[in-house]
Chain A
Amino acid sequence: MIQVIADSLSLGSVYVLFALGLSLSWSVLNLLNLAYGAQFMLGAYFAYVVGNHVDLPLLFVLPAVMIIVAATSVVADNLVFRRLRTTAGTPVESELSMLVASIGLAAVAVTLVQHETQGESKFVPKSVFQVKTLNLGDTLHLTNMQLIMMVVTVLLTIALVVVVKWTRFGRAMRGVAVDPATCELLGVNSNRLFSTTIAISGALAGLAGVLLAIHLNYVDSTMGDPLLTKAFAIIIIGGVGSILGAAVGGYLLAFAEVLIVAYGPANYRDAIAFVVILAVLLLRPSGLFARQRWERA
């Protein structure tokens, strides 16, 4: 049972780490970003590239990769999403067109990396980070990377909650999410705010990509997509716009998945996320933890 809890915490950290940036861009920009999996993959891929070119440890590689991915995200936003946000007639139109554009952008990124790696899976060199097993008692095994991920996830969640709740920037962010026009009148530069959000979201994707690539010992052009659907489930459980909700949702989903592998029919593990999405949306669309209803036309 201890191992089940440890596995759930580790897997939950994987999911939350991945979902935080996606949750942010969904709640602020109304962007169902299907390219997020590709951004994550870029993080992993750049960790592989940077790690193979310079002999530097994780502490240097990680920030470098986060900046690269954040920059590519901002470029994509300026070139594509900004125009779609401003020219579409209705909110539904703009959401749909951004969703479709994100599919196109993801295809571009995935194809480029696939071409560079010739479709083979790669790995982040051991010079960046050496994964070691920590034996905590007879039965419990955790790696140092799993521990780092757990700590980073908790710290990031707290930091994001603080920023969104208590800072000026966070208030503006929440305001823009609900009513951009009024916020503009109140002196908020919504385009800059959107760009900043995109940059943070991209940096988070890059961070998740690097850590997960090391944890999984695996870098591949298509590695982001399976996590994308899990992240959607997590955001739905927690309620769109709730960072804390996403964190709790991530650990709940991980716990359910670990349980079904440990005690149930393991083959159905991947159905859980989808069943959860359907059930929550049909029974309690605002998420399990949201206090007020966010309904957007």
Chain B
Amino acid sequence: MTALDAKIPSGSLAEKWDRHKFESKLVNPANRRKYTVIIVGTGLAGASAASSLGELGYNVKSFCIHDSPRRAHSIAAQGGINAAKNYQNDGDSIQRLFYDTVKGGDYRSREANVFRLAQLSVNIIDQCVAQGVPFAREYGGLLDNRSFGGAQVSRTFYARGQTGQQLLLGAYQSMMRQVEKGTVTAYPNREMLDVVVANGQARGIICRNLITGALERHAAHAVLLCTGGYGTAYYLSTNAVNSNVTAAWRAHKRGAFFANPCYTQIHPTCIPVSGTHQSKLTLMSESLRNDGRVWVPKQQEDKRAPQTIPEAERDYYLERKYPSFGNLVPRDVASRNAKSVCDEGRGVGESGLAVYLDFADAIKRLGPDVIRARYGNLFDMYRKITDEDPYQVPMRIYPAIHYTMGGLWVDYNLMSTIPGLHVLGEANFSDHGANRLGASALMQGLADGYFVIPYTLANYLGGTLFQGITTEHEAFKEAESSVQQRIDMLLRVKGKETPRQLHRRLGQLLWDHVGMARNAAGLHHALAEIPRLRDEFWQNLSVPGEPNNLNKNLEYAGRVADYLEFAETLALDALHRTESCGGHFREESQTPDGEALRDDANFSYAAAWEFKGVGAKPELHKEALHFEYVKPSQRSYK
């Protein structure tokens, strides 16, 4: 085990970023076009990085698996984006956003990164408004804000229920402007299948053209992975069906450490599972908890229609247990409580795996028109999927995998343990600790892409000696041939099981044993089963069709193969962390009243795993976390 150096600048918290920017090396404007930068992924982090680096004059190559950069899954974020603007005069500040984020992350994030994020949050809003992002406004023309996801101030900016879409379109449009100017070249329909490391530096990628099936080599001076999270390891999640861990995992296999994979966020307000055909779960924005009240019947197995259950026989359990935050407790607390009332046999709906989110009081108080104005599109979506009208009957909701705080380990400069390989947005691990607060993912993706990487990448490029490496270099040949071999292996199995069947089984295993609550026995079980499932995959997989054209089943099989390797590291990380923290709840570690109990004496570190071979135990490296400004305490939302 080696201690990891996060390269946090010296000085007081408030000075670190400014000092670092001043001390960083620069790249002369005339020299920038001589540097090629590969950016993989075009979500908020990737598209914002592509546009800002293109504007600066670098030669940017942008890759995505979608048919257009505009389709990345950031687009699905509903609720909003936080910023410490204090436009509402209600006590917000950079300091408070910083404090809330460190506390919300259950003291498992890096103070310096979180403070920088809070500082940059204000610039993001300015930039997005300048792009024409139609954030909601007050009648006087000023920007509107709402309180969101457990915050006691109103700092969330939003564009109806489509904030992620509007922010992504802003970043995408800025990126397309650079495409027109020739600084950015867009490569859609490409899947990155390996990072090329030459002389110890990340110098390119191997990708598959998903339309022609051809493998392509691309060389660069630096590679930025902006490839999102790994929530679809669980099969059912709120992530898009094509979201995957492949790029991050392949980078991990080339030497990038994977940090805190057990930190997965389970979102409390999703539409419950309806059957085995289900391909994904749909999130209902947690802004609904601002007006909806969460309850279950007091009695077990109460199958009466919700409207017929009298007030006295309902348990508004969040309001009862957490009087000061009520229905607005953070995501991990809300999810865990939903699970525990369902485990008690008080869940509702056919499966018993759901709780009510009731708008009857809000409709009575505010009238249906106000509710329609606030949540109309969400109510419509709910009705389309469930065939029930939430204006008449309470919604049924249940937690689902939504976001992954873990990711590739990066230092303060967003650089991984492979020199030159930078990781931005959800794909890295850095800012959210063990639990992410609502409306913070969009903030982090854009902060990384618009405002952090332009400085830290220049510092890397300006301070590094590069040898002339072309795509004919041995490292490219070796990487391409290993990618080709893996594709051939997938096609050669010719068994009977579809990638989806195998993926669904992996997902169920992870959900049952590495889900909302984990214990040692369950994790050992998962660790025994995952290799068996992986063997079955390689013995009984069916991938019809050819590799040399559009073959979605082949793409999917490759991603499932990577999940079957990655899942082991995820479960192992969960097993080693015997404390509870944020999204990781270990049943062995709880307070007498059932809340998560951290173990700061033994686990105040980020766990970064080094790949040692498929099925071999990865090596643990620790980055100790120091809390100078926010003193860790037991989180309480009572």
| Binding partners A and B | no
Show the binding face of B for A, using Cβ within 8 Å: none
Show the binding face of A for B, using Cβ within 8 Å: none
